[in-house]
Structure 1
Amino acid sequence: MPTLKERLYDEWALKAELTQDGVSVHPEVLRRIALGSAAQETVNCLFSYNRDLAAEIDVPPYFILPHGLIALFHVDRRSDWRLEHDGRGFFVVDSDGRAVPVRFPERPGYYARQTSDGTPMRTVAVHNSDDVIFVAYSNECSLQATSRDCLFCNINATARKYGDVQGVKWKYPRQIGETVAAAYAEGARHLTISGGFVPERREVEYYLDVADEIRAATGLDDFNGTACIGAPRDLDVIAKYREAGYRTLAINIEVWDEHFFRAYCPGKEQECGGRDHWVRALEHAVGVFGRGRVRSNMVGGLESKATTLEGIEILSRKGVVAMSPGWIPNPGSALEGHRSPEPAWHLDVARKTYQIYRQVGFTFEQVYDATAVPQTLVHDLYRIEEERLPVFAEERAKEAVAA
């Protein structure tokens, strides 16, 4: 019989497949999930991943697989996987008839609440599992006005499709402070603030106002927040984020190769000093926040595996939590219709990233604090190898009873 870790690694591979390929689903099956009441619904802020789905149809944010791993839920009618309900529970079923039971997350209590100005809190901060919340203060990017959007990004398409339907709009600092306080009262313990591209001076002033409101509402000087920003031309402003109370900083370089950076991120190239300046900003940020407290994402699959891993290793050795979550070609982006590498490609990048992290000494807690979504394939390797999942305790309890 396979060991628990072997079963978890099988589930890990399944997660990669479901995350990359999505599922097909009939609207009637979705209605059985009780989304928006007992079960958590997706609030489309920043990015959306669902293809061939009307904006009015609710979907869950993720699957919970049998041993506790979590996979992103997104609808794609081309997928070999489909979601079914047998009258008692939910299953994902592939074209060969393989069926895997799945569950969905409970709706957080604060999703039913409003801020003092009447804004639904669920549109202010979404719950990303594992006590992590995410605030997208702006659901659109100013680079659209100059046709210099990042080619892989659909933030503006998401705003057009879901903004009015789901009431997702600009977030004000007080709204964020009140919502974070409500989420933290229910057990949340990390948040990321992010959004579309805005002018540098406006960005830093806004983030400082948000930090003030969060501290006032929660009573916490250190609220374990990540500020996700563009690389500032004036590197001295980075210290202001640390002084304001953010524990970690994110400056996402998106791709490592300088020529790809110029092609994929024309706005970031022209507005933020180019790719080399982004690297300098990351190095400077580590000097301010400390090793393991600065994060930079690369879009996994936009460049070769060797180039991606080179960037991850170089940045990690500089103290940056650099990772490359698998690219899901976003509907409405300039690269819609392109294909991400096969799941095995992403699994291999995750394994090698985890090995690099262990070599440089990054702990799970550092990776957790630095990232907006605590359910990447790399997070899972920590959870499996360090036996952090509840299923390990359950297995030990069964063995104790049997003995």
Structure 2
Amino acid sequence: MSDIKQKLYDELYLRLALTVEGVQYDVGVFDKLLQQDPSSRKREVCTRDKELVTKKNYNIPYQFLLPYGFLVNLVVDRKSPYKIVEEDGVFSITYFGKWITNITFPKAPLFYSKLTSDGVSMREIAQDQQGGGAKGISVAYSQECSVKDKGKTCLFCVYNGNKGLDKIEEQPAWRTPLQIAETFKEAHKEGYNRLNITGGFIPERRELEYYLDVAETVQEHLEGKDDYVLTACIGAPQEISVINKYKEVGYDNMSFNLEVWGEEYFNVYCPGKVTECAPFDQWVKTVEYAVSTFGKGKIRNNFVAGLQPKEKLFEGLEYLTELGTIPNPDPWIPAIGSTLEGHRSPTIDWHWEVQLKNTALLRKYGRTSTEAFNTGGAHSYPHVMLLIEEEALPVFHEQKEVV
């Protein structure tokens, strides 16, 4: 492995550690920074620490940059060995008080400071996702999932409540197709060319109607432009053939978040996905049909890595990558508001082994960083790790120029 590739992997390992372990900070350390760029203030809770989550002391940026450009979304934990500190305007990460590296903070995109035609802040509509020279946005269209009333919420999910935590900001309960289209149009002006649509299940499984409306409205607002990709994240439909309609209306990619591999795990962790959608084997058949419809490299499968033994997860990753999908095993964060609040995710090394295995499988079956971006976003682990393996990051070109 080349020196630069090793340094990139070392920094990506640190990024993983900062996600799994979280970071701590002193209250007020970001105040001056956020006065200069108010739009970069984090608006969603992602923490294991209730005492940190108040309107007073949750005044933090939504992400920061490591030296080689890897973006880190802040997961806060007062007990973490990692800490963000500031001295003379310079921010850095320490580990048990020992300096590790300096960090910087990207400016929020311009669309974050704009409003939709009905007066809603666009930063409340879409989440900025960029990295490795690629830019995309993701929209979670609702704040709740319809399985809540049936007591079938996925055990790891925080969609259906925050157990009395302070709301950082009031957010719209529903993102309309018009709001999404207007936001994406503004983001597109800044070079954002991917739109991911996801969310909880819609009552009475009416998501097809909603997703088709979103695609048509986006196309109307970006009339004459074809330099963007649309990804729809849905549950397994009762009639598999409706997958064709998503392609016909203009979606380029689809995602079916299996979360775990195997019927026994799926039934325990995702009871609502069984009752509202279909049994596990039907989800797998849906993925197989989607690959045959959209093609290889066009389907994403998110996993919550850490809920089951590695060997079982690896079984699923192997099956799906050979099939032609792009699995994305994100580290499990047992955040406040989920049924599994208070549990512990596996070790950093455990999660790192999962990422290395997934990347090796993606390369084995011919998947690319472009496909990983189109299906999973700009700073997903499949995207950035394939960029490293393809030596497609700017730092590789800089090295060659120096030589």
Q: TM-score, normalised by structure 1?
A: 0.93
Letter in 2 for 1:122: R
Matching of residues 96-115 of structure 1 within 5 Å: 96-115=97-116
In 1, Cα distance between equivalents of 2:146 and 2:36: 31
- RMSD over aligned Cα atoms: 2.0
Report the Cα offset of residue 363 of structure 1: 0.9
Q: 2:46 maps to what in 1? A: 48
Size of the aligned set, in residue pairs, is 395
Report the Cα offset of residue 41 of structure 1: 2.4
Contact 1:48 1:158 in 2 (8 A): no
Task: Return 5+ residue gaps in structure 1 as ranges.
Answer: none
Matching of residues 40-189 of structure 1 within 5 Å: 40-44=40-44, 48-49=46-47, 51-52=49-50, 53-56=52-55, 57-130=58-131, 131-158=135-162, 161=165, 165-189=169-193
User: 193, 200, 207: which one pairs with 1:196?
Assistant: 200
In 1, Cα distance between equivalents of 2:35 and 2:13: 27
In 1, Cα distance between equivalents of 2:363 and 2:80: 35
Secondary structure of residue in 2 paired with 1:166? coil
Secondary structure of residue in 2 paired with 1:286? helix
Q: Per-residue displacement from partner, 1:160-185 (whole Å, max 9, x unpaired)? A: 75768232421111111111100011
Secondary structure of residue in 1 paired with 2:206? helix
In 1, Cα distance between equivalents of 2:314 and 2:305: 10
Secondary structure of residue in 2 paired with 1:157? coil
Contact 2:39 2:113 in 1 (8 A): no
Q: Is structure 2 residue 241 aligned with structure 1 residue 236?
A: yes
Secondary structure of residue in 2 paired with 1:151? coil
In 2, Cα distance between equivalents of 1:394 and 1:33: 30
Q: Per-residue displacement from partner, 1:222-281 (whole Å, max 9, x unpaired)? A: 740110101101111111111111100001011002111001111111121210010011
Q: Per-residue displacement from partner, 1:282-329 (whole Å, max 9, x unpaired)? A: 011111111110111111000010110110110111112122111111
User: 1:62/1:109 Cα in 2 relative to 1: closer, same or farther (>3 Å)?
Assistant: same
User: 1:35/1:226 Cα in 2 relative to 1: closer, same or farther (>3 Å)?
Assistant: farther
Report the Cα offset of residue 58 of structure 1: 3.1
Report the Cα offset of residue 6 of structure 1: 2.2
Contact 1:24 1:75 in 2 (8 A): yes
Q: Is structure 2 residue 347 aligned with structure 1 residue 342?
A: yes
Contact 2:369 2:382 in 1 (8 A): no
User: 254, 263, 266: which one pairs with 1:258?
Assistant: 263
Secondary structure of residue in 2 paired with 1:187? coil
Report the Cα offset of residue 221 of structure 1: 5.4
Matching of residues 287-326 of structure 1 within 5 Å: 287-326=292-331
Secondary structure of residue in 2 paired with 1:32? helix
In 1, Cα distance between equivalents of 2:239 and 2:46: 32
Q: 1:382 maps to what in 2? A: 386
Report the Cα offset of residue 159 of structure 1: 9.9
Q: TM-score, normalised by structure 2?
A: 0.93
Report the Cα offset of residue 33 of structure 1: 2.4
Contact 2:145 2:201 in 1 (8 A): yes
Q: 2:252 maps to what in 1? A: 247
Contact 2:34 2:61 in 1 (8 A): no
Q: Per-residue displacement from partner, 1:358-401 (whole Å, max 9, x unpaired)? A: 11111111111111x4323332322222222222233334x25x
- Answer 1 or 2: which has greater strand percent: 2
Contact 2:46 2:76 in 1 (8 A): no
In 2, Cα distance between equivalents of 1:395 and 1:318: 36
User: 1:164/1:19 Cα in 2 relative to 1: closer, same or farther (>3 Å)?
Assistant: closer
User: 1:332/1:128 Cα in 2 relative to 1: closer, same or farther (>3 Å)?
Assistant: same
Task: Return 5+ residue gaps in structure 2 as ranges.
Answer: none
Report the Cα offset of residue 38 of structure 1: 6.2
Q: 1:29 maps to what in 2? A: 29
Contact 2:306 2:345 in 1 (8 A): yes
In 2, Cα distance between equivalents of 1:158 and 1:67: 35
In 1, Cα distance between equivalents of 2:76 and 2:374: 29
Q: 1:393 maps to what in 2? A: 397
The percent of aligned pairs where both chains have the same amino acid is: 38
Contact 1:55 1:165 in 2 (8 A): no
In 2, Cα distance between equivalents of 1:332 and 1:111: 26
User: 1:206/1:161 Cα in 2 relative to 1: closer, same or farther (>3 Å)?
Assistant: farther
Report the Cα offset of residue 20 of structure 1: 0.6
Secondary structure of residue in 2 paired with 1:233? coil
